[in-house]
Every structure is written in C-alpha cells, then in structure tokens.
Structure 1
C-alpha cells in the first residue's frame, strides 16, 4: 500500500468517493447479520480474534506474524500478503455483503490529516486498507464497522436491544490500575489505543 501520507489519502478518498463505502453502526451490523444478508469479517491478528471476537464473525487476518508477533514483540507483525486470496477462499461470492471490522475501526467520516501517514498497517487498523484491496479484487458490497470490535461491544453494553456482551469473549470491562482499556477514545475521529 505504501507508507506515504499521499498514498493513504488517495486510498481513503477512493473508498469514500469512488466506491462510496458505507460505515455501519453496531445496531445495523447486528440487523444485517440477523437477516443473513451480511457477513462480519474480522481482519484482526488471529491470536486477538481467538482471544475475543464478535459471535458469528469470520476471521481473515489483514496482518500475520510468527511466534514473536504472538508474544506481542513490536515489529514482528506484517501485512498478510495472501489477504485477498484468504478472503476469496472464505467468501468466494464477490457480491456477498461484507462488513469489515478491526480493533478500533478508523474513520471514513473525516479525511486523514495531511501531516500524518499510514506508515504501519499492522497497528490496529486493517478494515479500511483491507476493504481497498477487496474492492480492487472485485468485491463490490463492502461496509465498514464504526469503531471496530471495541465500539461494537461498548454499544452492546449501552443499548439493551443489542446482544449483551459475554465477558468470556470481550475483555473490555477489565480495568488495570483504574484504567479501562477501551473507554474514552473518539472512534469517529479515528483515535486508537496504540
């Protein structure tokens, strides 16, 4: 994808303007999945998905890595070179409605700042660059989950019409030394934890 700000700004603009990619809320995601009209594609690192995920989602990681990446050592994750092929195996019908999600969601609502680049696609964000690759491969019915998996579960906690979060599948309520891991980020502006 490239490491320059210009490249990411161009890709971001294409997602919004050329492909008219839509962002959906947790409530819309649940409704689309319940009607079996959409598949939630979780593009997070596989060990993260195995630790906690949205029930009914399908995992195809946008990033990969060996044992050192699993140990959370920095610099050992890399973009999954087979991402598109892996999605094609899991979801071969390119007209399937696919909602992509990652850890924090990113944003299509605001343009990326000119002075910042998308230099490390292995840190949290994967749904938007992954969607771009899938559009290039001919998928044409893609959506983006607002706020990612974290916001999905926070919305489930607040909205009683959504599925209640299972503490076994979402560690978001955990506090360490008074700090709640996923609270206080403005995901509409694309803020993230890393």
Structure 2
C-alpha cells in the first residue's frame, strides 16, 4: 500500500456494490473489531456483515443510496454512503452513513476524500442539507469537526460500543447551500 498517494474514490453502481459486498463486509468486520460504533457488536459474524452489504447493494439498485469506495491495488480501503431515499417532505436532504476506513489505511486522508465525494454528489443531486451521527469522542467526531460539520448535540448512552460499553452519539449537519 502506497502511504503517500491517495487512492481514487469511486461511486459503485448496483452490480459493483453486489460484487464487492464480501470485501465491504471485511472492511466492516475490521472496523467493528477496532471499536467503531457503527450499529454492530464485536465479534461481528462475517455472514451478518455480508448480509448488511447485500442490503446496501439493493438500496443502491433502488436509488435510495449512493455507495463510494476508496480502492488501492484491488483492495477496498474505505467506504461511505450517501442516503438519498428521504421522505417526500425532505427532498432537499441527505444523510451520511457507514463512513468506514480499514484500520491499516487510516491517517492518509481517505475519510476526508470519501466525505468530499459524498458531499459533491449531494450537491449534484440538489441536496442542500446533510446530516449524520457518530460516536462521541471518536475518530469520526474529530473528522467531521475538521471538515466543518456543525455539531447539534449529543444524546448520552444512545448506542453501545462494539464491546458493550455505552456511548453517546453526537449529531452533525452540513448546510451545502451556505
């Protein structure tokens, strides 16, 4: 892995999302094993992780979400989703979900590049407001603050870390119209 060059970020279509589901499952398992509070508990069964990504691929096929990956040498190093399937009274809004970077690939700017790609697509799609939530005090919170996302507040004990400890979730927004 070239630690100096930033690998390209690309948006997957539904066929690519389905084909890469096993690799994306590996990324998810790695992140959960590293303590990422992303809706799953440790140890995460690879079959459950695969089923999750197969569902994501269906969402991509339906147009409800966009899926981005950062790849290098055929390996997926990170991923993020832009949720587009919003209620009819929120056509201006999108949501960021499952921003994941393999532990071995962190510190290279992949999270920033993935987020910028999702934000750019949101603008193309006419979305003027994005929201997300992340574990309080974690790498995600630091990334989103650094990228200029606005914290709204924290809900204590909103979720659990993968090891079962409670964690607060901090909610952020980004006004793309500003």
> TM-score, length-normalised on structure 1?
0.27
Give the strand-richer structure, 1 or 2: 2
> TM-score, length-normalised on structure 2?
0.29
- Larger RCO, structures 1/2 (Cα 8 Å, 6+ apart): 1
